[in-house]
Amino acid sequence: MKNRSYSALKVLVLCFLVVSVLLPLLSLFTHMTFEDMQKVVANDGFSTMLINSVSLTLASTLISVLLAFVLAWMINRSHIRYKAMFSLLFTLPMLIPSISHGMGLVLLFGDNGLFTNWTGINLHIYGAVGIILGSVLYSFPVAFLMLTDIFKYEDYTIYESAEVLGLSKWQQFTQITLSNLKRPLVSVVFAVFTMIFTDYGVPLVVGGKVTTLPVYMYREVVGLLNYSKGAVIGVVLLLPAFIAFILDLKNNTTVSNSTVVKPYQVSVNKKRDTLCYIVCILVVSCVCLPILTFMFLSVVKQYPNDLSFSLDNIIEAMQLGVDNYLLNSLAIAMCTALLGTCISYLTAYMTARSKRTFSTMVLHLISMLSLAIPGIVLGLSYVLFFKGSLIYGTLAILIVVNTIHFFASPYLLAYNSLTQFNANFEDVAQSLGISKLRMLKDVYLPSTMDTIVEMYSYMFVNSMMTISAVSFLASFKNMPLALLIPQFDSQSLIEATAFISIVILAVNVILKVLIYLIKKYVIAKEYH
């Protein structure tokens, strides 16, 4: 009787996930017609677009993961100062939409870009070069964070044994470091590949004549309202992501968690540290250049004819409704973060702190399945499933689609935290007559408050900057701010576009600072 409320809540969460994940995905498959499949596959450009997508994604993934690996090694295996500052600056690209990275490259290196005009050197970034550069900027921070976390859990005792056996530093790196990172590195590669393969923001702006499948899908659905054709392309985009998800899931199940007996001891090496400083400063400069360009263009009168200081573009952007769209974004981000954090945490509690029943396994599978659905595919599936419903065309559907789009990562954060508690807690609570919801309120919530705050931050930041999941669902009334970027770009309002990117970045930075202060002064004081 005590756990009747818990059971009812579990049913509600399961129903929500079925309606918001499984049914829209099923609707996507049912809207495909054999005729449209033939048209898409028989299209002369389809094979070219598929080759473009795969080849450019592979190249971008290789560069992105390699760069992230080098930076993560330098941050964790050197004695350089200001590591926290460098790490923060490396992750700045995560706080603006992917399309902004394409815009930044155009503003810097385009035919009429700042670098091109000042030096007379044209790098011809439209096409494959621009897509790869933009994709690397967009994705390497994610790989960097994942690899940095992995480096922290290396046990130094293995390296001490290697020293005794006479292994050189290079042998230790190849035989121990790379061996330890092999399986986690596979997960990083899959995550980055999926991000780049399904993104249309960067190739939409800098692709030029090189078209990728996500851009083709975007133009078919948004431009031509061809939902059936879009469904076929969506399934094609879903396949590599789903295969990567299955392989990654299999890879994770084989990983054995080792205990860190002794934290890694970094040796003194001035030459190494000097090289690390040089590389880190170069990368930070490259990361900050587009952002500084956005700031510069926001306050010039008319680029490139009149570079005098002026607030006219900001005033014009406000007159075009930027303030209203910003309110939409804030409302969507706050509600998504609240709803997403609550549901993902509840789901994680039900799967991590309950016996492995059929219902908990279904909950876990659906939660992980959301990781394999690209945002652009999820958005189209919501159009096909929810069209004509009460929430279609409202802020509610944008909140729900964002919740599902970013559901898996917060879920895993909570799941991993909750599995760290003693497995006998529930048995003791049951013998004392304490309900599951009471345990959740009095034990788990206070103990995992740091994780909950991080979950909220993740959902908010990503909801502020996403364009893929909401691009098919937003109208002029409920449009989030990020969707104004492709709209203003098509109207050649580059100064207003730059200003929007800065506004999104500023909001996300403010949120990150607030989260840091809350964790340091509120949570640490109350719960620790």
Domain containing residue 17: 1-30+311-528
Whether residues 378 and 438 share a domain: the answer is yes
306 in a structural domain: no
Assign 3-class secondary structure to 252-312.
HHCCCCCCCCCCCCCCCCHHHHHHHHHHHHHHHHHHHHHHHHHHHHHCEEECCCEEEECCH
User: Can you read off the two tokens belonging to residue 502?
Assistant: 């800065």
Nearest to 366 by CA among 43, 24, 1, 51: 24
One digit per residue, the tens of pLDDT, for the chain of length 528 reads 456 788 888 899 999 999 999 999 999 888 887 777 887 777 778 889 989 999 999 999 999 999 999 999 999 888 899 898 999 899 899 889 888 888 889 888 988 888 888 888 888 889 999 999 999 999 999 889 888 877 776 666 777 677 777 777 777 777 777 777 777 788 788 888 888 988 888 998 898 889 898 888 888 776 666 777 788 888 888 887 677 667 766 655 444 444 455 666 777 889 989 999 999 999 999 999 888 888 888 888 877 777 788 888 888 888 888 889 999 999 999 999 999 999 999 999 998 888 778 888 888 888 888 877 888 889 999 999 999 899 998 999 999 999 999 998 889 888 878 887 776 777 677 777 777 788 888 888 888 888 899 899 999 999 999 888 898 898 888 899 999 988 887 787 888 888 999 999 999 999 999 988 888 777 766 655
Assess if residue 291 is contained within a domain: yes
Do 148 and 215 sit in the same domain of this protein? yes
**Does residue 220 share a domain with residue 124?**
yes
Predicted pLDDT of residue 283: 95
pLDDT at 294: 86
Assess whether 83 and 111 both reside in one domain. Answer: yes
Q: Looking at the structure, tell me whether residues 316 and 281 fall in a common domain.
A: no
- Last residue in a domain, options 267, 298, 329: 298
Dist. CA 83–CA 277, nearest whole Å? 10
DSSP class per residue in 454-481: HHHHHHHHHHHH--TTTTTT--TTT--G
Query: In this structure, is residue 509 part of a structural domain?
Result: yes
pLDDT of residue 1: 47
Distance between first and last Cα of the chain: 34
Whether residue 432 sits in one domain with residue 505: yes
What does the pLDDT read at residue 261? 53
Residue 524: its pLDDT value, please?
63
Task: Flag whether 305 is in a domain.
Answer: no
Q: What is the pLDDT of residue 33?
A: 76
Same domain, 323 and 285: no
CA-CA distance, 508 to 406, in Å (whole number)?
16
Indicate whether 16 and 129 sit together in one domain: no
The residue from 243, 272, 298 where one domain ends is 298
Selection from 347, 342, 349, 337 nearest residue 515 by Cα: 337
Same domain, 144 and 173: yes
Grouping H, G, I as helix, E, B as strand and the rest as coil, residue 28 is helix
Whose tokens are 């974004």? That residue is 329
Query: Is 521 strand, coil or helix?
Result: helix
Number of structural domains the chain divides into: 2
Which of 298, 327, 350 lies at the terminal end of a domain, its last residue? Answer: 298
CA-nearest of 462, 450, 446, 444 to 511 is 462
Cis peptide leading into 24, omega within 30 of 0? Answer: no
Nearest-angstrom CA–CA distance, 264 and 268 = 13
Question: Is residue 186 domain-shared with residue 274, that is, in the same domain?
Answer: yes
460 and 317 belong to one structural domain: yes
In a domain, 269, yes or no: yes
Burial environment of residue 23 by CB neighbours within 10 A (0 to 12, 13 to 18, 19 or more): middle
Asked if residue 303 is part of any domain, the answer here is no
User: Is 304 a member of any domain?
Assistant: no
CATH number at 3 reads 1.10.3720.10
State the residue for tokens 């921070």. Answer: 141
12 assigned to some structural domain: yes
Tokens of 520: 């340091």
**Which pLDDT score is estimated for 396?**
95
Do 387 and 243 share a structural domain? no
Q: From residue 493, how far is each of 48, 297, 507 by CA, in Å?
A: 31, 11, 22
